Amino acid sequence: MHGSSEVGHLVDRHPSVTPERLIAQLIPPPTFAEVSFDTYRPDPAEPSQAEAVRACREFCDQAQARRAGKKRLFGKRDVLPGVGVYLDGGFGVGKTHLLASSYYAVSGQKAFATFGELTQLAGVFGFTECIDLLADYVLVCIDEFELDDPGNTTLISRLLSAIVERGVSVAATSNTLPEQLGEGRFAAQDFLREIHTLASIFTTVRIEGPDYRHRGLPPAPEPLSDGEVADRAAAVPDATLDDFDALCTHLATMHPSRYLTLIEGVSQVYITGVHPIDDQNVALRLVSLTDRLYDAGIPVVASGAKLDTIFSEEMLNGGFRKKYLRATSRLLALTAAGQTGRAIT
């Protein structure tokens, strides 16, 4: 590539996502494409981890049996309601590893989605259509069930109740903050209260242990100048270069379910003019984009404000605290990859 004029821009992309494509995206992210129960390494000092593996294996067996139903006379089968398992614990104890392993251990139709993706699915298809869509599945896995959005939690609770009645089993993980772990079953109690219509089907599995990734967040790199970012972008095939405000405006023109298609085929993302955000809607769209970039392992290089200052203190102390902390952590990992030029592993 010669000169930044040839660099592509995310703001010039206008992806459309067919319903079929949305369904096809409901699989574990690339980071967890190769995992299984056998590749999970329980910490011998934390017996709850080995117990969690056993509980998940048992859950998978039950999910298959429930979907098969109960034989009646004349060869017909009665539908048995699905079962549920809820993996509760802090960051880095392997909850998503076990959730993805459960997904792979079960044969038949199944879906793996973040809580946000599931609410998007209901938004795109409509509530009733979404139930019909998932009704014949063996298993639906929900990573990071969020308790900080009452409207969406109620929506998903009703959706899950309906599909469980039709024989679908559900596995979910929590997104408990580390400082809440001292409060015992805080997240589990919150979860069961929020989904009271479903509480009876869920077995709560508590996973203890320190964060295996816990090396402290790397400090945010010193931002480059706009010119340096543009020059670097010009030297990288399939990179994109965008102004931060223009990108945020562009994200508002499409449903977050399209963000995965927006970054398809992109090798690295270069952004100029980053600054703190004070609009919650803009911030939440940026969180969604960050999650997609992280799942795809696409490094980020930026100029302007440091990436750990994007979300204000007020936002970090508000109802979406967990999302913003996760997004900050992921942005720092992506910019660290951008500095070395290596993809996320």
Whole-model pTM? Answer: 0.73
**pLDDT value of residue 193:** 67
Per-residue pLDDT at 325: 82
- CB-based contact 221:336 (threshold 8 Å): yes
Q: Cβ–Cβ contacts within 10 Å for residue 284, how many?
A: 20
- pLDDT mean over 61-71: 89
- Fold: same for 4-17+215-340 and 44-206: yes
Architecture of the 4-17+215-340 domain: 3-Layer(aba) Sandwich (3.40)
- From the centroid of its chain, how far is CA 55? 22
185-239 pLDDT tens trace: 445 566 666 666 666 778 889 898 876 544 455 567 788 999 999 999 999 999 9
Report residue 343's pLDDT band, with 50, 70 and 90 as the boundaries: very low
260-282 residue pLDDT tens: 889 999 999 999 999 999 898 99
Q: 52 or 14: whose pLDDT is higher?
A: 52
CA distance 6 to 263: 17
Domain ranges in the chain are 4-17+215-340, 44-206
pLDDT tops 70 at residue 247: yes
Give the pLDDT of residue 345.
43
Q: 44-206 has which CATH code?
A: 3.40.50.300
